[in-house]
Structure 1
Amino acid sequence: MPYFQSAEKEKLRKDLLTIGKQLFIHQGLKKTSIEQMTKKVGIAKSTFYAFFESKEAMYLELLEIEAEGMEERIWKRVENTTNAFHGIKAYLHQMVVELNTNILTNRLITNPDEMEMVKRKVTPKFVERKFQRNITPLLNYISEHQDKGEMVDTDPNVVIGFIRSALLIAVHKQDIGEEIFPQVEELMFQSVASTLTQQNNKE
């Protein structure tokens, strides 16, 4: 294993992440090999493991990089709403925007085989970071509005499962039909918000 100066090692790591992201986007995780990445960066395949445990571990790191700022954007939109009904709808719509923007995340959602490959490499630390970043703010929002009597008195984890399930409609976009998908998606999100809130779309 060659020795790298700190600055050189950091540059190689960034180069690998850049190349890896490009390849994952264009040909997917399954078809991307470590040899492809290291050849483009100009290092031996064995050197890859000085930076990442596996290509799946690299993908997980890229997911976290890609998601930077996502929660801030989501909750900024939610905070501008007037009640829980509009807040839930805003959350769902902004999540759609984020998923459409976050290409690697979107690929996983629509490619079950690659999702399984990545899931096998998920660490407890990754799960904890994701929970704190994605789930905790939503749990707090639900609990707050349940206390106000604005949301159904159901286990918050069940509510989160219901909300997240609605986002899976994106997987069926082609089946539903692209022309009518926006209207179907809007009806889905409106139904979810109505089901979860004690008040409908009151201003």
Structure 2
Amino acid sequence: MIDLNQSDKRQLLFDAARELFLEQGFKKTNVAAITERANVAVGTFYKYFASKEQIFYEVYQAENEKAKRKIVARIDADQSPKEVVKQFLQEIIRTSEQNAILAEWYRNTEASQVLMNYNQECDVQKNSFVYRFLLDNIERWRSSGQFRRDIDANTILALFNVLVLLDNHKEEIGHEHFPQVLELLAEMIIDGLTASS
């Protein structure tokens, strides 16, 4: 039998959880199934993760960041700000629909609540690749005169943050309307930012 070090065991659990979340979703996956797939004892799971919710959050964050990096790599940043943001949002929605882990955010209120709770505890924005992408482009658009200069970059970023907060109210908006509402609001924000000051 191979003696695994701690980081190997943690990674085995993480990989097993990711596979199960992809195959059967958040609700049907449990700690026992994760440990069985990882071929470790249930007690080992709790050395590395406090709960199924914690490992789901970590798997989701890794999956989300990986997807967003791919999305950003596909975007032609030389387009107009409106086209860049529109393409970005469309790609996020499309990618989320195609990835079972990311789709949990849209489909499962229990999983969505887990993600919202953990997001409130952690400052995910500070280290987010997407926020860096947005901030770099906002600065570029302001310097080139494509965005108003009378609104500072952090305020503009806060306007885009409204789109993220909107995610927390998908059910009230209606899942069937959500993608279009998101796109229209983004368009209106950009129209306001590109209007002459």
Is the TM-score greater than 0.5? yes
Is the alpha carbon distance of 1:94 and 1:159 closer, same or farther for their aligned partners in structure 2, counting shifts above 3 Å?
Answer: farther
AA partner of residue 188 (structure 2): S
Count of paired positions: 189
Residue of structure 1 equivalent to 2:97: 100
Of 71, 82, 86 in structure 1, the residue corresponding to residue 83 of structure 2 is 86
CA displacement 1:81-128 (0-9 Å, x = unmatched): 1x2232232232223233334443442466342124434764x6x665
**SS of 1:79's equivalent?**
coil
Of 49, 66, 71 in structure 1, the residue corresponding to residue 69 of structure 2 is 71
After TM superposition, the structure 1 stretch with the greater mean CA deviation from structure 2, 14-23 or 151-160, is 14-23
**SS of 1:68's equivalent?**
helix
- Please report the RMSD computed on the Cα atoms of aligned residues, expressed in angstroms: 3.8
Conserved? CA contact 1:109–1:115, under 8 Å: no
Residue of structure 2 equivalent to 1:4: 3
**Does structure 1 residue 135 correspond to structure 2 residue 131?**
yes
Conserved? CA contact 1:16–1:41, under 8 Å: yes
In structure 1, C-alpha distance between the alignment counterparts of 2:45 and 2:175, rounded to whole Å: 42
Residue of structure 2 equivalent to 1:172: 170
Is the alpha carbon distance of 1:164 and 1:101 closer, same or farther for their aligned partners in structure 2, counting shifts above 3 Å?
Answer: farther
Alignment of 1:25-174 (within 5 A): 26-28=24-26, 32-52=29-49, 54-66=51-63, 67-68=65-66, 70-81=68-79, 83-108=80-105, 111=109, 112-119=112-119, 122=122, 128-130=126-128, 133-153=129-149, 154-166=151-163, 168=166, 172=170
In structure 1, C-alpha distance between the alignment counterparts of 2:38 and 2:61, rounded to whole Å: 22
AA partner of residue 43 (structure 2): S
AA partner of residue 41 (structure 1): A
Cα distance, 1:148 vs. partner?
1.6
Is the alpha carbon distance of 1:173 and 1:141 closer, same or farther for their aligned partners in structure 2, counting shifts above 3 Å?
Answer: same
**SS of 2:146's equivalent?**
coil
Structure 2 residues without counterparts, runs of 5 or longer: none
In structure 1, C-alpha distance between the alignment counterparts of 2:43 and 2:113, rounded to whole Å: 26
In structure 1, C-alpha distance between the alignment counterparts of 2:180 and 2:114, rounded to whole Å: 29
With normalisation by structure 2, the TM-score equals 0.69
AA partner of residue 93 (structure 1): Q
**SS of 1:100's equivalent?**
helix
**SS of 2:147's equivalent?**
coil
Cα distance, 1:150 vs. partner?
0.9
AA partner of residue 97 (structure 1): R
In structure 2, C-alpha distance between the alignment counterparts of 1:161 and 1:98, rounded to whole Å: 24
Determine what percentage of the aligned residue pairs are the same residue.
19
Is the alpha carbon distance of 1:46 and 1:184 closer, same or farther for their aligned partners in structure 2, counting shifts above 3 Å?
Answer: closer
**SS of 1:149's equivalent?**
coil
With normalisation by structure 1, the TM-score equals 0.67
